[in-house]
Chain A
Amino acid sequence: MEEYRIGVYICWCGTNIAMMVDVEAVVEEIKKLPNVTIAKDYKYMCSDPGQDLIVKDIKEHHLNRIVVAACSPRMHEPTFRKALENAGLNPYFFEMANIREQVSWVHTDRIEATRKAKGLVAGAVKRVVHHKALNKRYVDIHPATLIIGAGVAGMSAALEIADSGQKVHLVEQCNQLGGMVRKVDLNYPYLNSSRQTISQLIKNTEEHPDIQIYTESKIDKISGYIGNFRALLSNHQEQRELEFGNILIATGLKSFDPSIIENYGYKRIPNVITSADFEKMLYSGLIHCENGKEPGNIAIIHCVGSRNENYHPYCSRTCCMTALKYINQISSAAPECNIYDIYADMRAIGKDCEELYASTSKKNVMFLMFDQQHDLPVIKQNGNGKTVSIEFTELLSGESIHIQANMVVLMTAVESQANNKEIAHLAGISTDKNGFFIEKHPKLDPVATTTEGVYIAGTCQSPKDIPDSIVQAKAAAARILATIAKGKVQVEVTTAQVNEDICCGCQCCASVCPYSAISYNEDKKVSEVNEILCKGCGTCASACPSGAIVSKHFTDNQILSQITGVLEMQIETA
């Protein structure tokens, strides 16, 4: 039997841990545990000297298991695993005890905190002897990429990837490319032509030899895994199969229908229109009321369906600046027109947006603030049929305002596409409570998703403007190109594995695998895990009545030993 030689390191994290945990006492207690060869404390384990200490000790004391008690493993587990690797030890012969986030920062009694730290470290020590060496695995990457959605994000990413000589399959459900931006006349803050920008983008995309475009098409099925995906694609005539290594989802969003907001009377009261309706007018070059006449008074209402728990809680991000753009466009098309901009908060984030706000304020416009949470303006049709009245309390002055307008433009919210859930299911990713796709990490990885090889860009992730969509699209393209350039990608190591000597082929596991990674081998009469499809959730191991499935790095033995450790220390010293 293997002799275990464990090295245990207790980190002070400066004073972060040491002020609440008696680290020396932990060291002394842990030294008494079986298999512990050395136990030390150190100021900063994650520092270079801290890591060198581990490397040196592994070599000098022939350590074969390492425990570090420090911050959360979500923070520095990769750091220390690397240190083990540098010392020639398998990186999975390592376990971390979280004595900062889950001890020193949350508890106030130094004695109890120290006791808890001892317990957590004892748990790690008991667990680590059951750790098995796990080896990194790689799969080849198919160089083609599937991009779903041909708006600015989808096209920008497609061009970025195709320009480096890699094949792109660009799938669009409409009969033409361009997405939402195709319907926009000018864009903010510089008020230059969206048409020109998008036309050029569409032209470049359509003419690119490495971009295969499929319009009026939809994805019926996606199978496979990073590097080796397959999809079934269909249009009216036929179904075809595509092969590719990565997926970028850039399906955009859609406009909110404000007719459910009783106060505004959309679809009920004439000349109450949405921003999309107004954009159409601008696009055609003529601002007019239903009677064909130019309006003398236009009111613009912000946050229609946004930032309100009854509709959508989030900010739709582009409406404030779009409203300013409208004010500028109205001012130049109809200089006599009075404009009322009824806003909740003016959100002018982004380069040169605040400047746009400042310059727009000088136009023939009156800015009026309303209470978006409690007091939505009420729009009523006037008897004359030509005008509508808008009533609300102006928040800054506290006055009741009564406006007569020929036209009201509702700055409607944007919302996630209706079929996002379906797409999420196809690609094996998730949507948030608002229906937008969830990124892998909101700060550190806003481009990838929790499924390897599936990326998201543009407004399908959250409302955003054109430059932000393009930034995300190009970032996704860069990530995809990086995997293509490498040719191989590392896949999950801590997968499930079937012990064929025990498995009886009941297939409870296959019934519950969310990745269809388990199949039944008729010849051997056992279930088999495709370890490339497996993401290591361990559900199958828990569903295996025979105890035949091992959830690597989270085995029954490892977890039961950890329980023993954390509880033993509790009772011993209590």
Chain B
Amino acid sequence: MNYKPTIIGFLCNWCSYTGADLAGTSRQKYEDKIRIIRVMCSGRIEPTFVLDAFRKGADGILICGCHPGDCHYHEGNYKCLRRFHLLQKYTQQMGIEKERLRLEWISASEGKEFAELVDEMSEKIASLGKCMVKETLDTYR
């Protein structure tokens, strides 16, 4: 499939955003349809942001935080994890495939892992095709 999915990445400042920066400084290549939005902590990432990004046309959402135990703010990543599972249950009820919403831990040293993650997620979502949230609202209302 040639469809290139648009992914919004919400990355915490201390681990994951720094890890993505490391992917840059070490020239790791990855899919160019990801758009990264920085927050200080994955604990700040709200369902509202995720749903809004789907509504505005994102095909997938990638949330990244520090590995468990490594959160700059002690436990923001755990709080993110807890609401993530509840959110995913909701988005699945709404017909959004599970693979389109992911939470992964990326440390500041995992530039390569970040690049691989983006590629792997892009590939998975490409096989699902376009996310129909925006299209459903634009077409069937």
Asked if A100 is an interface residue, CB under 8 A from chain B, the answer is yes
Is residue B38 contacting chain A, with contact meaning CB distance below 8 A? yes
Other 8 A-B pairs with CB < 8 A, given A101-B25, A559-B37: A101-B24, A102-B20, A106-B24, A120-B36, A428-B74, A512-B79, A566-B8, A570-B35
A-B CB contact pairs (8 Å), 8 listed = A105-B25, A112-B33, A430-B69, A542-B46, A542-B79, A554-B39, A567-B8, A571-B57
A368 at interface by CB-CB < 8 Å: no
List residues of B (29-51) whose CB comes within 8 Å of A's CBs: 29-30, 32-33, 35-41, 43-46, 48-49
Within 8 Å of chain B (Cβ to Cβ): is A446?
A: no
Given A106-B23, A106-B28, A567-B53, A543:B79 Cβ within 8 A:
yes
- How would residues 294 to 310 of chain A score, 1 for a CB under 8 Å from any chain B CB and 0 otherwise? 00000000000000000
Please give me the residue from chain B that is nearest to A567 by CB atom. Answer: B56
Cα of A480 to Cα of B56 in the assembled complex, Å: 49
User: Contacts A538-B40, A542-B45; is A119 near B73 (CB within 8 Å)?
Assistant: no
**Size range of the interface on B?**
35 or more
Report whether B29 and A567 are in contact in the complex, using a CB–CB cutoff of 8 Å: no
Contacting residues of chain A (529-574) with chain B, CB-CB under 8 angstroms:
535-539, 541-543, 551, 554, 556, 559-560, 562-564, 566-568, 570-571
- What's the minimum C-beta distance from B11 to chain A, rounded to whole angstroms? 10
B89 at interface by CB-CB < 8 Å: no
With an 8 A cutoff between CB atoms, is A76 at the interface? no
Asked whether B76 is an interface residue with its Cβ less than 8 Å from the other chain, the reply is: yes
Cβ contacts under 8 Å, A541 to chain B: 44, 46
A-facing mask of B52-63, CB < 8 A → 1, else 0? 110011100000
Q: Is the CB of B56 within 8 A of A563?
A: yes
Secondary structure at the B interface, as helix, strand, loop or mixed, is: mixed
Chain A interface residue count, Cβ-Cβ cutoff 8 angstroms: 51
Q: Which of A256-282 contact B (CB under 8 A)?
A: none
Q: Is A450 an interface residue (CB 8 A)?
A: yes
A404 within 8 A of partner (CB): no
Contact B6–A570 (Cβ < 8 Å): yes
The answer to whether A102 and B44 touch across the interface, beta carbons within 8 angstroms, is no
Kindly list chain B residues whose C-beta atoms are within 8 Å of the C-beta of A515. 73
Assuming the contacts A514-B76, A539-B43, asked whether A98 and B36 have C-beta atoms less than 8 A apart, the reply is yes
Residue B122 interfacial (CB < 8 Å)? no
Binary B-proximity of A112-139 (CB < 8 A = 1, otherwise 0):
1100100110010000000000000000
A430 and B74 form a contact (CB under 8 A): yes
The residue in chain B whose Cβ has the minimal distance to the Cβ of A544 is B46
Whether the Cβ atoms of B44 and A551 lie closer than 8 Å is yes
A109's nearest neighbour on chain B, judged by CB, is: B32
Residues of A within 8 A of B20 (CB): 101-102
- Asked if residues B39 and A102 are in contact (CB atoms below 8 Å), the reply is no
Residues of chain A within 8 A (CB-CB) of B104 are none
Across the interface, name the chain A residue whose C-beta is closest to B79: A539
Q: At the interface, yes or no: B18 with Cβ under 8 Å from chain A?
A: yes
- Is the C-beta of B98 less than 8 angstroms from some C-beta in chain A? no
Choose one: B13, B36, B71, B74; the contact of A74 (CB below 8 Å): B13
Q: Are A537 and B40 neighbours in the complex by a CB distance under 8 Å?
A: yes
Per the 8 Å Cβ criterion, residues 427-452 of A in contact with B are: 428, 430-433, 438, 450
Task: Decide if B102 is an interface residue (CB 8 Å cutoff).
Answer: no
B44 to A563, Cβ gap below 8 A?
A: no
